[in-house]
Structure formats: C-alpha cells, structure tokens
C-alpha cells in the first residue's frame, strides 16, 4: 500500500550494503533551497485539550510537534538537527543495514537556521501544511519545506504522534509508533486519515491565532496542504473537513478513504510514479482513478518516470549519497528537484494567483513528467 512508510518500501533495498563503508561515507546533506530568502526554522509543541489521543485514548489530549519553516533575514546561527540520535536509531533499527551507524540521520546537514529572525510583514505570507508518510518523521520532508520557505512561504511540517518510529517532546519524552502495533485492517486507514485531518485543523487554529514570532507572518486566507504517502491521503480528508485549506497535493499516497459523491471542488493535484502505473490494470493508483472523477475543481494528475516511493522525499537523496540503490532509474536529486519545482508551481498558482506555465502543460525542461489529466 502506498500509504505505508517510506521505511517499508526502502527496507528491502537497504539490505544491500552501501557502496562505501561507514568510515568512508560522506556526511549526508540536504540539497540547497532554490529561492532567494534565507530560511529559518523553529520547533513548536502543541497540545489539543479538546480531544483524546487518536491511538492512546487514555491520554485525554493530543500532543503534536511541528517544525515551522519560514523566510528569515539572515543565515547566522546553528542549523536545525535533522533527527536526534534516538530518533535516527529508532528509524534505522527497523531496517537491515550493515554499514550505516544507527545515529547517522542525526548528522545530516540542513539549511534552516534555528529561530532566525522572520522576514516580512504580519499576515503577509501563505502557509503550507505538510504531512509525512506513515511511520516517517516530519524531518523527511525537510528539503521540500526549506525550498518553499526560501520562496516566501511559511511551512508547517506536522509529526503525527504515535504514527512514526520515534518523536521527541521538549521535556525529553520519546513517543514511539503505538499505531504500528494495531492490526492494519481497512478501518485503520480511515482512523488514521481522520486523525491527521483533525491534527491539521488544530495546527492551523494554533498557528493563525499567534500574533508573535514566525507564525505572525501567516496570511490565514492563503493556506494549502500537501503530503507524501499517508500524508497525501490525509490532505484530501483535511480539505473535506476544513474549508480554510484552499488547495492540496497528494504525493504518491493511496487514499483508501474515497472522496464522497458530493466531491471536492477546490484545486488538487496528484503526483506519482509513472513506472508503477498502467491504466486499466491493477496498480497502486486504483483509488486515484476513482477519486479523480470526484475532483470537481481545478485538478492535475502528474506522473514522474524513473521514480520510486522514496524519490519524492529526503530519503531518496540520502540513500543516493550513501550509495544505496532503491531501484529508481532517475537521479535522486533530479527527482527531488522535480518534486520541489512542481509543488512550488502549484501553490504559486493557487495561493499567490500567479500563472506559471509549468503547471499547465508538459515542459521540455522536465521530460520525465507526464500529464495524465
């Protein structure tokens, strides 16, 4: 299922030893953002006291961690740690990796400066919510978040508690993947999507209520959302439940919970892997074909040749730096460049009222991208 974590899809590939030993492996890094703004980032702890936790009902509230990326005024200061050593170890321990140290994801070089001074007037910048794949940390969408922020967006990447391998709270507590211990029957995915939709609306409430710090930059009238894998599926449910989210993107995520017959009339885009799609044949995108007819507003369906599930996240690039073959035939940095470029073009159109031609028709600059609708 495409809503499973990148970790699940990557697990088999990671059993192949990297081309270099851990002693010789280069320091992992995220590609540079492509926009003109320096990027700042801050971590937010949020607590929703109006509902019990989705996966631990005995906890009468829902705790969330959010990484908020934003345009900043300078580049001086420490950059954000990608993961803590504990988070890295919990994630990589699920894989059969012989040559990578378990803490290696804590050494990834990032580009966003912690608590940098925000750039811009109050309520002047659009907001994009990002939701990661199932069992994946919010860190795995950092490259996309950094890039959008460098182009003037505020970006909130949400960690959905108890749905990833490890997430650290400010007081040092580490939440593991409680949901992983539950049978993944059909009702599981409906619960997950509904919970993530509620998380997204709560984060939107919390951010737009703030009048200080980087959240004060947010224009509450210009809000979009995107997600990878389960996060993409959750984007649809979040939009159905919250009309403040004006536009959304599902990046390679099976939806499982169909759009109702009443449809979704706001702009939406699917982005997936062309190599895994054969029209009229059983494939991971069967539910997209059903949902496509119920998208009644502006819509696009893009497929990228040569990609695999991890190609649309940081993990494809990081695996490439370690010499790990995930099975893609596209250069990992090229795949991430395509992802960032088309996501930016989509939100520029629907949150900034710009009209980049890239999103209207196939481009000779990106022959890997096919328009299916």
Please indicate, yes or no, if residue 1 is contained in any of the structural domains: no
> Alpha-carbon dihedral of residues 5, 33, 307, 98, nearest 10 degrees?
-60
- Are the C-beta atoms of 215 and 154 separated by less than 8 Å? yes
Please indicate, yes or no, if residue 209 is contained in any of the structural domains: yes
- Are the C-beta atoms of 62 and 199 separated by less than 8 Å? yes
Give residue 117's domain range.
Answer: 6-371
In which residue are the tokens 């699940």 written?
A: 8
22 token code pair: 């851990």
124 token code pair: 């002047």
Return d(Cα 13, Cα 24) in angstroms, integer: 20
Tell me what pLDDT residue 20 has. Answer: 38
Tell me what pLDDT residue 25 has. Answer: 58
DSSP letter (8 states) at residue 78: P
Tell me what pLDDT residue 281 has. Answer: 65
Tell me what pLDDT residue 12 has. Answer: 34
Please indicate, yes or no, if residue 85 is contained in any of the structural domains: yes
Q: How many domains does the chain have?
A: 1
Which ranges of the chain have pLDDT less than 50? 1-23
Return d(Cα 215, Cα 211) in angstroms, integer: 7
Instruction: Return the percent helix, strand and coil in the chain, to nearest 5.
Output: 35, 20, 45
Using one digit for the tens of pLDDT, what is the confidence trace for 272-312?
998 777 676 667 788 999 999 999 999 999 999 999 999 99
Please indicate, yes or no, if residue 338 is contained in any of the structural domains: yes
Integer-rounded Cα Rg, in Å, for the chain is 19
Please indicate, yes or no, if residue 228 is contained in any of the structural domains: yes
| CATH number for the domain harbouring residue 122 | 3.40.50.1820
- CA distances (Å), origin 24, targets 20, 103, 131: 6, 16, 34
């Amino acid at each position: 299922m495409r809503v499973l974590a990148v970790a699940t899809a990557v697990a088999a590939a990671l059993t192949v030893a990297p081309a270099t030993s851990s002693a010789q492996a280069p320091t992992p890094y995220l590609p540079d953002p492509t926009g003109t703004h320096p990027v700042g980032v801050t971590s937010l702890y949020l607590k929703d006291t109006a509902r019990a936790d989705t996966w631990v009902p005995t906890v009468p509230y829902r705790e969330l961690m959010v990484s908020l990326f934003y345009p900043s005024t300078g580049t001086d200061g420490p950059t954000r740690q990608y993961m803590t050593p504990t988070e890295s170890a919990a994630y990589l321990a699920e894989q059969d990796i012989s040559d990578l140290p378990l803490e290696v994801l804590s050494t990834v070089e990032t580009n966003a400066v912690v608590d940098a001074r925000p750039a811009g007037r109050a309520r002047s910048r659009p907001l994009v919510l990002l939701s990661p794949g199932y069992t994946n940390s919010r860190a795995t969408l950092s490259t996309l978040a950094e890039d959008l922020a460098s182009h003037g967006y505020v970006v909130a990447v949400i960690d959905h508690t108890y749905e990833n391998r490890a997430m650290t709270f400010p007081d040092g507590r580490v939440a593991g993947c409680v949901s992983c211990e539950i049978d993944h029957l059909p009702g599981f995915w409906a619960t997950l999507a509904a919970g993530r939709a509620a998380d997204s609306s709560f984060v939107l409430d919390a951010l737009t209520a703030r009048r200080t710090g980087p959240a004060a930059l947010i224009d509450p009238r210009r809000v979009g959302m995107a997600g990878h894998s389960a996060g993409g599926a959750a984007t649809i449910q979040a939009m159905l439940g919250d009309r403040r989210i004006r536009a959304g993107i599902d990046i390679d995520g099976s939806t499982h919970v169909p759009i109702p017959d009443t449809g979704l009339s706001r702009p939406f885009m699917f982005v997936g892997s062309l190599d895994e799609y054969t029209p009229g044949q059983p494939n991971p995108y069967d539910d997209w074909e059903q949902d496509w007819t119920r998208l009644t507003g502006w819509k696009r369906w893009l497929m990228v040749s040569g990609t695999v599930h991890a190609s649309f996240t940081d993990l494809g690039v990081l695996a490439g730096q370690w010499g790990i073959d995930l099975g893609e035939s596209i250069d990992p940095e090229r795949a991430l460049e395509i992802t960032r470029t088309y996501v930016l073009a989509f939100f520029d159109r629907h949150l900034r009222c710009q009209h980049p031609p890239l999103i209207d028709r196939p481009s000779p600059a990106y022959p890997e991208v096919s328009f299916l609708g």
